[in-house]
């Protein structure tokens, strides 16, 4: 094969060695053309990068889409003074931390359960995972009905047990937590799946060796499974934090930020200000969200990825 | 089976644990879906009770017809719109991301770090909504289907490029070299030699992204408002304010919209799992 190549096509033979050599921009034939980036670069640049950079400017303006007036940091001041908007900011953090934390804990427990030898494992895995694929709006509307304070199934069942459940979505104390709970219900399947992949990749010998040495199930979990599924934990934390901080559809389908603005998050504030025509303020919300997400995710992923476990 | 087994092999304990798990899963995960199905086939008055009960009469067909006819067949239009949106944008994503991921993996240059940074930025940074509307208006694509398709492609590219780049790394370079020696240009090399080899990862990307795009609510809400252009998720949202007294129809709509992901799940479970867990082990 190789000898044929050398004798038949001389000029092209040189290009064979090219990929290994450093690309310095010389005129040699290249099989890997930079043109392949072009369509991606145009779409991504025009519809993602340009708006992202434009948002930095427009967040400093009063803006009607046609004309913009520079007003400095007024939008941001408003964002951190108006109680409704501040509430949106703190709620975003609470929501992200609660959903992410619950997904890590529940996902890990479910994954341990679903990799153990129990009956109907396939059924259990499917049923835990399926909600991930269902429309968020559909899930939100269904649970709005189930959480109805008087007639909903949840409070009816609690009533049978003698507990009078709160108005899950109508009580300001509970609204955000209820939505977060539904978010966990819908998203825990993904966390479980990621953990299952992590646990399955742990060599079985480790567990067997530990068992021979007389380790209890708890010790096996705490000393072997938990540390070795660290990459999975990192993935689950990062993914669910990004999702939680940006979350909009579920909250919008269930409470629309209500009652009042007690379950507003930044993403729903952005939508409300957009609907009200305050484009500058809405964009400022976007910049706040952008900064929040980067300020949390970048250091966190750097920190989590730094400490690798020795195998 | 290389599964790490934590739970002991004592049979009694295994059976108790299994039973508890199955009962809990029925209550937590199955009942909500059963509730959707039951409410969708009830008549109007019974569905207004919001109770978890057996329907007095099964009105599957009538409810189905009523939902489809509501607001001048909006649901039919929405299904057509969603299908077009999903098919075109996912096709675009696959082709563009495969090309970019291929070159990104194969060609080492000083720009690679920067490109990788942009790809990750696309995963992390929340899109700036109003400025995007402003850009779309400037290029005349706001409130149009092509505009929304391009938006979905732009937001989905990062994830796809990551998957393709990782998969291209497993294809031996010798194949490229053999094709080049046989006289293939860059386009032929990619479309006739490499692209067919990407089949398994393409299936994964297609399945995961079609579910994503089909279920997307936020982008159609912002970039394609208006009843004529509604996608299925928007019909759900619109119906929810219109059908407050007709829960049977609302839940019939939810049921219909759940069917496409269900089909995906039944046929492509393995690919979905592969796509979603691809980052889990490497970290």
CATH number at residue A86: 1.10.3720.10
| Option in A47, A137, A298 nearest B135 (CB) | A47
Asked whether residue A214 falls in the same domain as residue A110, the answer is yes
Q: Do A115 and B3 touch (CB under 8 A)?
A: yes
Asked whether residue A126 falls in the same domain as residue A238, the answer is yes
Asked whether residue A285 falls in the same domain as residue A187, the answer is yes
> Distance between CA B141 and CA B150 in Å, rounded?
9
- Asked if A131 has any chain B CB less than 8 Å from its own CB, the reply is yes
> Distance between CA B279 and CA B283 in Å, rounded?
6
- Asked if A105 has any chain B CB less than 8 Å from its own CB, the reply is no
pLDDT in the model for residue B48? 80
C-alpha radius of gyration, chain A, whole number: 26
pLDDT in the model for residue A1? 35
pLDDT in the model for residue B9? 56
Q: What are phi and psi of B226, to 5 degrees?
A: 110, 140
Burial class of residue B74, CB neighbours in 10 A (0-12, 13-18, 19+):
buried
Q: Which residues pair with A62 in a beta bridge?
A: A69
Residue A83 placed within a domain = yes
Q: Do B265 and A133 touch (CB under 8 A)?
A: yes
Q: What are phi and psi of A23, to 5 degrees?
A: -85, 110
Mind telling me how many Å the CA of A35 is from chain B's nearest CA? 9
Q: Name the token pair of B253.
A: 């709509």
- Please give the C-alpha separations between residue A235 and each of A87, A129, A239, A289, A304, in angstroms, as whole numbers: 28, 17, 6, 21, 10
Residue A12 placed within a domain = yes
Asked whether residue A209 falls in the same domain as residue A84, the answer is yes
pLDDT in the model for residue A29? 63
Give residue for tokens 């709509």.
B253
Interface test with A, best of B15, B20, B24, B126 (most A CBs within 10 A): B126
Asked whether residue A107 falls in the same domain as residue A22, the answer is no
Asked whether residue A189 falls in the same domain as residue A91, the answer is yes
Q: Confirm if A292 and A92 have CB atoms less than 8 A apart.
A: yes
Do strands A68-70 and A61-63 pair parallel, antiparallel, or not at all (unpaired)? antiparallel
> Distance between CA A81 and CA A59 in Å, rounded?
16
Cβ atoms < 10 Å from Cβ of B17: 17
Q: What are phi and psi of A255, to 5 degrees?
A: -125, -15
Q: Do A242 and B123 touch (CB under 8 A)?
A: yes
pLDDT in the model for residue B5? 53
Residue A195 placed within a domain = yes
> Distance between CA B263 and CA A297 in Å, rounded?
35
Residue A221 placed within a domain = yes
pLDDT in the model for residue A17? 45
Q: Work out how many domains chain A is built from and give that number.
A: 2
Would you give per-residue pLDDT tens digits along chain A (311 residues)? 333 333 334 444 444 444 444 444 445 567 788 888 999 999 999 999 999 999 999 999 888 888 888 888 888 888 888 888 889 999 999 999 999 999 999 999 999 999 888 888 889 988 999 999 899 999 999 999 999 888 888 888 888 888 888 888 888 889 999 999 999 999 999 999 999 988 888 888 998 899 899 888 888 888 888 988 888 898 899 999 999 999 999 999 998 887 888 899 999 999 999 998 889 999 999 999 999 999 999 999 888 887 654 44
* 208-237 in chain A: CB under 8 A from chain B: 217, 220-221, 224-225, 230-232, 234-235
Residue A61 placed within a domain = no
C-alpha radius of gyration, chain B, whole number: 24
pLDDT in the model for residue A48? 94
Q: Confirm if A115 and B7 have CB atoms less than 8 A apart.
A: no
* pTM (predicted TM-score): 0.86
pLDDT in the model for residue B160? 92
Segments in chain B forming alpha helices (H) = 11-25, 31-41, 44-47, 60-106, 112-124, 129-138, 145-168, 173-181, 186-188, 195-197, 199-215, 218-223, 232-242, 247-276
| Mean pLDDT, 10 residues at a time, chain B of 283 residues | 51 85 92 92 83 84 86 88 95 94 90 91 91 92 92 93 90 90 88 90 89 92 84 85 78 91 86 70 43
Residue A199 placed within a domain = yes
Sequence-separated (6 or more) residues with CB below 8 Å from residue B144:
B224
- Asked if A77 has any chain B CB less than 8 Å from its own CB, the reply is no
If one looks up domain B67-276 in CATH, what number appears? 1.10.3720.10
Identify the domain containing residue A225 by its residue range. 75-306
Asked whether residue A127 falls in the same domain as residue A197, the answer is yes
Q: Do B176 and A31 touch (CB under 8 A)?
A: yes
Q: Name the token pair of A156.
A: 């009816």
Interface test with A, best of B129, B135, B224, B258 (most A CBs within 10 A): B129
Segments in chain A forming alpha helices (H) = 2-8, 10-15, 38-44, 50-58, 74-81, 83-115, 121-129, 136-146, 153-160, 175-200, 204-212, 217-220, 226-228, 230-246, 249-254, 266-275, 279-306
Q: Confirm if A40 and B99 have CB atoms less than 8 A apart.
A: yes
pLDDT in the model for residue B279? 54
Asked whether residue A237 falls in the same domain as residue A89, the answer is yes
- CB burial of B162-201 (b: ≥16 within 10 Å; e: otherwise) equals bbbbebbeebeeeebbbbbbeebebeebbeebbbeebeeb
Which residues from A are below 8 Å from B237, CB to CB?
A: 137, 253
Q: Do B118 and A118 touch (CB under 8 A)?
A: no
Q: What is the pLDDT of residues B261-281, one digit of tens each?
A: 898 888 888 777 777 776 554
Angle at B146 between CA B144 and CA B150, to 5 degrees: 120
Which residues from A are below 8 Å from B106, CB to CB?
A: 19, 31-32
- Please give the C-alpha separations between residue A206 and each of A194, B94, B164, B270, B280, in angstroms, as whole numbers: 20, 40, 33, 27, 20
User: By C-alpha distance, which of B193, B118, B163 is closest to A31?
Assistant: B193
Cβ atoms < 10 Å from Cβ of B230: 23
Asked whether residue A285 falls in the same domain as residue A180, the answer is yes
Burial class of residue A250, CB neighbours in 10 A (0-12, 13-18, 19+):
buried
> Distance between CA A11 and CA B151 in Å, rounded?
43
Mind telling me how many Å the CA of B178 is from chain A's nearest CA? 8
């Amino acid at each position: 094969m190789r000898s044929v190549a050398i004798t038949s096509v001389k000029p092209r033979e040189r290009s064979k060695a090219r990929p290994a050599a450093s690309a310095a921009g010389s005129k040699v034939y290249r099989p890997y053309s930079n043109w392949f980036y072009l369509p991606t670069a145009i779409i991504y640049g025009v519809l993602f990068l340009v708006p992202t950079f434009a948002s930095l400017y427009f967040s400093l303006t009063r803006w009607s889409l046609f004309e913009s007036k520079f007003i400095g940091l007024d939008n941001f001041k408003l964002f951190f003074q108006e109680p409704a908007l501040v509430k949106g900011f703190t709620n975003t953090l609470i929501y992200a931390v609660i959903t992410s934390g619950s997904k890590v804990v529940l996902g890990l427990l479910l994954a341990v359960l679903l990799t153990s030898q129990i009956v109907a494992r396939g059924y259990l895995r499917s049923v835990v995972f399926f909600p991930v694929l269902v429309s968020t709006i559909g899930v939100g509307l269904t649970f709005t009905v189930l959480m109805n304070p008087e007639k909903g199934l949840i409070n009816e069942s609690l009533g049978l047990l003698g507990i009078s459940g709160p108005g899950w979505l109508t009580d300001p104390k509970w609204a955000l937590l209820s939505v977060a709970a539904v978010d966990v219900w819908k998203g825990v399947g993904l966390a479980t799946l990621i953990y299952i992949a992590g646990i399955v990749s742990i060599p079985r010998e480790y567990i067997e060796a530990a068992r021979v040495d007389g380790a209890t199930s708890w010790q096996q979990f705490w000393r072997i499974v938990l540390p070795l599924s660290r990459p999975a934990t990192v993935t689950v934390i990062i993914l669910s934090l990004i999702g939680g901080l940006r979350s909009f559809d579920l909250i919008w389908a269930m409470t629309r930020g209500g009652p009042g603005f007690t379950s507003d998050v930044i993403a729903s504030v952005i939508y409300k200000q957009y609907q009200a025509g305050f484009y500058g303020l809405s964009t400022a919300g976007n910049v706040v969200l952008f900064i929040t997400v980067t300020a949390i995710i970048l250091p966190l992923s750097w920190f989590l990825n730094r400490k690798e476990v020795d195998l | 089976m290389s599964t790490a087994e934590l739970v002991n092999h004592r049979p009694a304990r295994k059976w108790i644990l299994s039973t508890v798990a199955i009962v809990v899963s029925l209550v937590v995960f199955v009942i909500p879906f059963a509730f959707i199905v039951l409410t969708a086939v009830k008549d109007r008055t019974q569905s207004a009770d919001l109770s978890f009960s057996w329907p007095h009469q099964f009105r599957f067909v009538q409810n189905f017809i009523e939902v489809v006819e509501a607001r001048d067949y909006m649901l039919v239009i929405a299904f057509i719109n969603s299908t077009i949106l999903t098919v075109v944008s996912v096709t675009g994503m696959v082709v563009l991301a495969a090309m970019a991921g291929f070159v990104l993996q194969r060609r080492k240059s000083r720009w690679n770090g920067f490109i990788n940074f942009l790809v990750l930025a696309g995963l992390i940074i929340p899109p700036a909504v109003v400025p995007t509307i402003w850009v779309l208006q400037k290029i005349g694509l706001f409130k149009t289907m092509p505009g929304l398709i391009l938006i979905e492609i732009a937001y989905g590219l990062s994830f796809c490029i990551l998957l393709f780049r990782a998969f291209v790394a497993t294809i031996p370079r010798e194949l490229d070299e053999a094709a080049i020696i046989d006289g293939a240009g860059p386009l032929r090399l990619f479309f006739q030699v490499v692209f067919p080899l990407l089949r398994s990862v393409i299936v994964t990307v297609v399945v995961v992204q079609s579910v994503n795009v089909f279920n997307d609510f936020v982008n159609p809400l912002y970039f394609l408002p208006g009843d004529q252009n509604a996608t299925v998720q928007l019909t759900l949202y619109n119906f929810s304010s219109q059908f407050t007294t007709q829960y049977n129809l609302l839940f019939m709509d939810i049921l219909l919209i759940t069917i496409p992901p269900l089909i995906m799940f039944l046929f492509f479970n393995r690919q979905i799992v592969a796509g979603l867990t691809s980052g889990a082990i490497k970290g």
